[in-house]
Amino acid sequence: MTAGFPDQALCHQALCHQCQPGKVYLVGAGPGDPGLFTLKGKTLLECADVVIYDALVSPPILAMVNSQAEKINAGKRRGAHSILQPDITQLLIAKAQAHAVVVRLKGGDPFVFGRGGEEMAGLVKAGVDVEVIPGITAGVAAPAYAGIPITHRSYSSSVTFVTGHEAAGKYRPEINWSAIAQGSETIVIYMGIHNLPHIVEQLLTAGLSDQTPVALVRWGTRPDQEELIGTLATIVAQIEATAFKAPAIAVIGSVVNLHRLLASCRPRSM
């Protein structure tokens, strides 16, 4: 167990596990700006024995981990897995058997396209005590930092969060793009850059106008945030022309037009 805990209720609660099997905290790190990280998450990093973190956790948040904690990079980026998912769950189980406070730190929110549900289920089945600490998801924060409210009384009363990921060309997710196009005024796509040509085609086939506005927000809420604004007709060519890369959130719908008015007063990263 590490020394120098802040005198806070959560750490006391975590310390109570010292003589018992450990506990795993699935902590959402948020999208990158450390100012958006929860107080609960920060407190746990200050008293963790082990922190197992993903690739999208930002450096300022990793810097909050106490110096005596064991830090393990389980980072996964497209096509490159540092540790395979079943092995991550096994690692969490093993660490919880040996340490009191084990933090599983994930970008955004653990339960939003973060496999937090799978890991939590694996831990519960193994009899490991586990708790989730939500984080701010990129699909809300990245558009906000680009001056795009994902709902607005005049433009959008519904929003769908959807993954655009397909695994190394082997399969397409069975996402009903037609139903999404017809049923949701704002579409927020995670992991969609690589597959965007296919997604755009599906949305046009489903009847969306090619003038529907699209925003891509890369590294949202971080100091190096980048945006690309276009329409369904132009966005694929814009990606090619600018070599725009993941990780990015795509926002599709008329709320994107608010970017012109609101982007000038967007927040700054801490």
Ligand X SMILES: C[S@@+](CC[C@H](N)C(=O)[O-])C[C@H]1O[C@@H](n2cnc3c(N)ncnc32)[C@H](O)[C@@H]1O
Residues contributing to the site for ligand X (CB under 6 A)? 31-32, 56, 106-109, 112-114, 137-138, 142, 190-191, 217-222, 246-249
Nearest to 242, CA basis, from 255, 259, 229, 257: 229
Give the separation between CA 248 and CA 209, rounded to whole angstroms: 23
What is the C-alpha to C-alpha distance for residues 215 and 153, in angstroms, rounded to an integer?
19
Q: How far is the CB of 30 from ligand X (least distance, A)?
A: 8
Cβ atoms of 96 and 123 closer than 8 Å: yes
- Closest distance between ligand X and the C-beta of residue 221, in Å? 6
**Does residue 1 have an active-site annotation?**
no
* CB nearer to ligand X: pick between 22 and 31: 31
Q: In angstroms, what is the minimal distance from the CB of 15 to ligand X?
A: 29
With vertex at residue 140, the alpha carbon angle to CA 136 and CA 142, rounded to the nearest 5 degrees, is: 95
Residue whose C-beta lies closest to ligand X: 108
Q: Which is nearer to ligand X, 22 or 192 (CB)?
A: 192
Least separation in angstroms between residue 43's CB and ligand X is 20
Residue type, 254: S
Rounded to the nearest 10°, the torsion over CA 170, 176, 178, 179 is -170
**Nearer residue to ligand X within complex by CB, 95 or 222:** 222
Catalytic residue among 49, 54, 109, 120: 54
27: nearest Cα among 70, 72, 57: 57
To the query of whether residue 87 is one of the catalytic residues in this protein, the response is: no
Owner of token pair 């009899």: 127
How near is the Cβ of 102 to ligand X at its closest, in Å? 19
Closest by CA to 223, choosing from 163, 269, 261, 160, is 269
Q: Considering only CA atoms, which of 12, 37, 14 is closest in space to residue 25?
A: 14
Please identify, using beta-carbon distances, which residue of 27 and 217 lies nearer to ligand X.
217
Among candidates 232, 255, 229, which has minimal Cα distance to 158? 255
Nearer to ligand X, 122 or 247 (CB): 247
Active site residue 54: yes
For 54, the token pair is 């993903």
Give catalytic residues, as residue numbers: 54, 76, 191
